[in-house]
Amino acid sequence: MIPAPQKHSYALGPGVVAPAMHPEYGRAIQELNNVNYPKAGGQPFVVDAGHGVGGPHQHTQYPYVTGTSVLALKYKDGIMVACDTLGSYGSTKRYKSMERMKPVGKFTLIGASGEYSDFHYIMKLLDELTTDDYCHDDGQNLTPTEIYNYLTRVMYNRRNKFDPLWNSLVVGGFHNGESFLGTVGMVGTCYTDSHVATGFGAHLARPLFREKQYDDMSEDEARALLEDGLRVCYYRDKNSINKFQIAKVTAEGSTISEPYALITEWGYEAFVNPAAAAVGTW
Amino acid sequence: MRARAKRRSNTLSTLFSSIPRSRCTTSGKTSVDIRSHHRSRRCFSGILILTLSYNVYWQIRPREGSQSRCYQKLNNLDRKMMLSAGPQQHGGPTQHASWSPYDNNGGTCVAVAGKDYCVIAADTRMSTGFNILTRDQTKVCKLTDKCLIASAGFRADAITLHKTLQTRGIMYKHSHNKSMSCVAMAQMLSNTLYMKRFFPYYAFNLLGGIDNEGKGAVYTYDAIGSYERTGYSCQGSGQALIMPILDNQLKAVSPLLVPPQDGATPLTQEQAVDLVKDCFATAGERDIYTGDEVEIYVINASGVHKQTQELKLD
């Protein structure tokens, strides 16, 4: 006889015990599930993850599919954000048409580098919030600052659980005539500035931004500067491809461009024989 | 904003001219004038030479305990796994990407208490490793009308700590219909830090304000909540550079005296502000984590007053 359930499943609700929790059936279910482990990696599908098969809940220990740098800056009409569309699997250029920028509500745009599935999870959290706003239908929507602060808390809390979301996020927004630009890292490190860049972009693109960016720059100037940033990142970052999207957030809302390529030049003499100017290297 | 952008692009020329801004000014009107600078130079040049040999890096380095050990173990056991490209298959030994829950974003805080005022200041640079993340991030947070906190170290922890204290201060006000006193806030900060004794906030805090008698108060902390009321203190990446200057110029009151002596410094408010500015200019010369701008808050009977002073951008 099956004993009455002593505790309920968190996923299924009170009074219901998940099969995997059941002392009698636990082992059988586990064996069954062992057979069904996905061969390509990842977690097996279970209704009540963490209480079920395969031992204790696993934290993210390694990012799988990742995106590289996101660049963003303030300009006259709002915020401009740019990144390539590559999803790397280690060093493999695995997915070449991934959108790494997504709008949130009317005034905000998120750009993400790092683990792509974690980014999806973050977008799910944010979409729940915007859906909630929409359902209330009271004209109150989350502002870019609020979304930024929310994300900061989410990232920091996951870091506190030693189960970080493996991303660096860029939050750009335009609301009530004011533009907002901030970034949040994997452990919750966050700051706002007139220009930001994640990953390699912090080394390669931000020096250009520091030199040329000013808050009243025109859209054309901003685009040219961002493309310069993207170009140096593409030249030096092996995990990037020449397929970029540029997004902007202005008073009219956010728009994300179709992917396009930049003109590049690989024929420079310094590229052909890089060791010529550096005696002692190979 | 444009002017600021231009200032930034002049970093290189500033670097090569090697004339710090504080010494560029010739007008006696500026708060850090040449005379005071040179006078103080002479006074503590000996101390400076000693100090500069100190290690300016952070003192308590967060360690990855079990994680790094785990990583090593896996490395030794399964070197073979390193050969296979890309992330590991499920069920096999996992290749750990190492991560630390801590970062050090640097920065320096200084506070000086006087008879009826308190000066608390912090620079606005936020760094990680050799990167400057931003030049304009405040480290100071106003907790009550008479109490401010400044924190260096890990920014995410400091923000969380500030938010917690601010919230509790507001809740206190709602339930008691008066602001939390500086002394109570100081105790609460200690408790809040100690609550996370085994996963500490990596934040180095200074609390400054006016106590119930109207006297200036400075409280200085370590990351896990040990604290002390002093007449002056310094925390953060520039601590080793600034603390001896303060000791030399202000002289701490012996804690062994009975009855205990008031630790407040004898300086006037203006002298204290000048000293703080000199301290930051000095630390900015050698500490790469201190620079850009210093925000100085003066708390006295008439309220909280903010002023800023530019520092070197290199």
Q: What is the pLDDT of residues A137-192, one digit of tens each?
A: 999 999 999 999 999 999 999 999 999 999 999 999 999 999 999 999 999 999 99
Answer yes or no: do B90 and A62 touch at CB < 8 A.
no
DSSP A119: H
Burial of A55 (0-12, 13-18, 19+ CB in 10 A): exposed
What's the pLDDT score for residue B106?
A: 97
Which segments in chain B show pLDDT lower than 70? 1-97
Which of A57, A58, A47, A59 lies closest to A20 in space, CA to CA? A47
The ranges assigned to domains in chain B are 108-310
Q: Is the pTM of this model over 0.90?
A: no
Maximal CA-CA distance, chain A: 82
What pLDDT is recorded for position A56?
Answer: 60
* CATH number of the domain located at residue range(s) A65-256 in this protein: 3.60.20.10
Q: Which of A214-223, A257-266, B31-40 has the weakest average pLDDT?
A: B31-40
Q: pLDDT digit string (tens) for B111-141?
A: 999 999 999 999 999 999 999 999 999 999 9
Q: Averaged over A235-250, what is the pLDDT?
A: 96
What is the predicted ipTM? Answer: 0.78
pLDDT at A22: 52
Question: pLDDT: is B311 or A267 the higher one?
Answer: B311
At residue A270, the pLDDT reads 75
In sequence order, what are the beta bridge partners of B140?
A: B150
Among the partner residues A41, A152, A214, nearest to B89 by beta-carbon distance: A41
Q: Within a 13 Å sphere around the CA of A114, how many CA atoms are in the beta-carbon half?
A: 26
Which amino acid is it at B113?
A
A59-91 pLDDT, tens per residue? Answer: 667 899 999 999 999 999 999 999 999 999 999
Which pLDDT belongs to residue B306? 98
CATH architecture of B108-310: 4-Layer Sandwich (3.60)
CB A84 within 8 A of CB A230: yes
- Contact yes or no for A189 and B155 at CB 8 A: yes
Query: CA B286 from chain center: how many Å?
Result: 16
Interchain pair A156, B160: CB under 8 A: yes
Question: E strands of chain B, at which residues?
Answer: 108-113, 117-123, 126-128, 131-134, 140-144, 147-153, 203-210, 216-221, 227-230, 232-236, 293-300, 303-310
Chain A residues close to B133, C-beta within 8 Å: 189, 191, 193, 202
Q: From A152, A168, A36, A56, select the one nearest A112 (Cα to Cα).
A: A168
A97-114: average pLDDT: 96
pLDDT band at A199 (very low <50, low <70, confident <90, very high): very high
The alpha carbons of chain B give a radius of gyration, in whole angstroms, of 22
Domain ranges of chain A: 1-59, 65-256
Q: Which residues of B touch A160 (CB under 8 A)?
A: 101, 199
Selected for mutation to probe chain B from A191, A200, A209, A225 (highest B CB count within 10 Å) is A191
In angstroms, the CA B159 to CA B201 distance is 10
